[in-house]
Structure 1
Amino acid sequence: MLGSGRGGAAGGHMHGARWGVIAAVLAVSGCFDTEPCPAPLEACGGICYDLRTDRLHCGECGNACAGGEVCLSGACVSDPNAACVSRSGGAFVTLGVCGDTVKAWIVAPDFISRAEALVADPASPGAAVPTFDLRDGSDCDAQWSWSPSPATARFADAGSPSCSACPSSVQADPAGWITQVGVWCPPARVLAVHRQ
């Protein structure tokens, strides 16, 4: 009896140790994140990323694109804008707009700080409508042929129907938006801010 009791206790400790290892692996892999990320983002190590466009988590958590590549639609491809990787003095701000994402390089310090506050608490008091001057060229978000101007990004208290649109609408006529409308104030939510 005494021998079987020790064996049972040892077996119980081993069983508990196995579950401890499994729990640790699941925790490290992000399976115990308590806060879900807003769509289309997914949690990798407790931080929300867009796996369709994030070069460190391309298509899945931890799948980093090689130097000179970007993540486009969840796949690593050659980067026509290789300089994006080495940028500093600003932040990549990811917006969720109409079910799409727009990743913009921003150097306006007030915009970056407010964007970080909105990521932490989307209901935080203050201006919450991102407003951008637009320019031609994708500039680090290859899914769009236009981009927000990095230095003039700002937040407004309210948007205007004349400048509020989904990114696909801007993509349908980027020249018209750049030359005629000039400003884009989308009904967006700030999803992520990554300083560099």
Structure 2
Amino acid sequence: MKVKICGITGIGDADYAIKSGADFVGVILDPKIGRHGSQELIREIKTKHPDSKIVGVYTSMPEQAGYEDYIQLHFIHSAADVEFARERFHKNVISVIDFHEEHIREKIASHIDAGAEYVLLEDRTGIAKRKEQLIEFPLSRIGIAGKIDSNNIGELLEIHPDLIDVSSSLEEYIGKKSYQKMDIFFRKIGEYHVVRQNQ
């Protein structure tokens, strides 16, 4: 399982997220969103942490890509859009699908077939309440997002998603991560794995 910390707006928060164990750092590239960053920030992170995986989060199809390793399509899009983004920008793609969309199983399959590295299932009202439904999904290359925090991470790990995406629940305020919340979050993940190993 991989962990993505999204909504990074400064190098200090990126440093701490990577040091804490984040596998991916997400930078939102839409200035209309409060917790947004920039290509300059992505370049700074990549310069300081060349082995880190940076995700550029787009709320519409970009005209060009930048320094990020992954492009996250965080808007309503098709399997054809996934394929277009991969071929045009030569980047790995994370495809976000709202859990409320119709024919969700077919969409997941088509987006993976189109080359999405991960399909990220998001429920902004709280993905934890979808746990019973998620158990029935084949979770290879599937991630989850939506109000994930240290209180529900343990139960969500039980369904074994390939990717966990966390953003606002780890903030002090919009755009500023709480190091204490990150510490608790990653400690909960570590405790879960220790328990599983001892079972």
If the length of structure 1 is used for normalisation, what is the TM-score? 0.27
Structure exhibiting the larger radius of gyration computed from Cα positions: 1
More helix by share: 2
